[in-house]
Each structure stands twice: as structure tokens, then as C-alpha cells.
Amino acid sequence: MVRLIVWLFALIAAVCAFPLTVDVAANDVECFYGEVARADSLVGLSYSVQSGGSFDIDFRIKAPNGQVIYEQLKEREGEYAFTARLVGEYQFCFSNDMSTFSDKQVEFDLNIDSALKAQLPPSVGQGETESVERTISLIEDRTNNILRQLHYYKTRNNRNESTVKSTGSRIFWFSIFEVLLMAGMSVLQVTIVQLFFTGSRKQLV
């Protein structure tokens, strides 16, 4: 029974934070909002640019009173945690104003006050309660480490894939330009040779 409770609360703690993906168009801003129900709640957010341009984006957090409490410019990824002093709606914005034509894909993970207290049955003793809490904390830490590693490898894979696609597109258009250049040079050479012989015949006459 105790093991079942441990796994249940570990699962709840793991699913409290989940990654979201958003596409931010060039010269555009995408904002998300998180509601803080009580003061002194712990708020954490991490993000990483998966594709687009140089993989950089502007990020800022605004409090319910409109004050900017955190700002990070032209970064590929970031992580920030703070204690929310004000109750209300916090704003999390990703800005792609610096880009004129390149869209960005951003994956972020928002967690608001995810520390849950395990409410164990009265039949469970104090010693068992502490043991369960330590086990839940250990499982949560290991789960978070695994999620961070998976997120890191996913980000690297997405960025490498975006780089390969961008390089392939550049090679394609460079090849088209090279073919057109060679065709133009061939036409120019034929035209010059024709003009040369045409001018020679006129001089003979």
C-alpha cells in the first residue's frame, strides 16, 4: 500500500510540469500566462530554441502589476526560477523582433508551485511518513534529471536537423545558381564567337 502511494505521488509530481512548443513568427511576439493563486509560490520556467535562424530569441517575464521581473535577450536557452510575491496573472513572452524573415520554434516548460505534500492515511506511522517523503523526493529528483537529459538530447537533435535542412536548402539554391551561371556563360561565349566571325566577314567584303 505504501509503495502504491509513493508511486502515485511521484507520478503527480512528474506530470505537474510538461513541455509546450510554440512557433514564433518573424517580427512577432508570443505570450503565455500563468495564474498564481497564492503569494510566495515558486515559479520556474526553462526554454530552448529548437529551430530557426541562429537559435536565439528574447524572453521576458512580467508580474501582474506590469513590472518586468526578468529579461534575457538573444539567448538559445535559459532557465529561471523565482518566488511570486504577487497574486495574479504572470506573463511569459517570447519575442522574435530581431529576426526579419526567420521563424523560431521554442519549447518551454512552465512549473508553478509544483511542490505537493503527500497526504498519507492516518494508519501510516510518523517514521513511515518520513521514509515515504524521502522516497518521493528521491524519485522526483531522478525523474527530473532524466527529463533534463531527454530534453537536452531532443534539443540537440532538433537543432542539428534544422541545420542539416538549412544547409541542404543552401546547397540546392547554390547548385541552381551555378547551373544558370554556366548556361549564361555558354550563351555569352557563343554570342561573342558569332559576333567575331560576323565582323570578320564584313571586313573581307
Grid cell digits, residue 69:
521581473
The per-residue pLDDT for range 79-93, each reduced to its tens digit, is 899 999 899 999 999
Q: In what order do the strands lie in the sheet with 68-75?
A: 29-36, 88-95, 57-62, 68-75
**Helix extents (H) in the chain:** 2-15, 126-204
What pLDDT does residue 193 have? 84
d(C-alpha 7, C-alpha 9), whole Å: 6
The residue type found at 46 is S
The per-residue pLDDT for range 101-147, each reduced to its tens digit, is 889 999 998 888 745 444 545 555 556 677 777 787 788 778 877 87
The per-residue pLDDT for range 49-66, each reduced to its tens digit, is 998 888 899 999 999 999
* pTM for the predicted model, two decimal places: 0.62
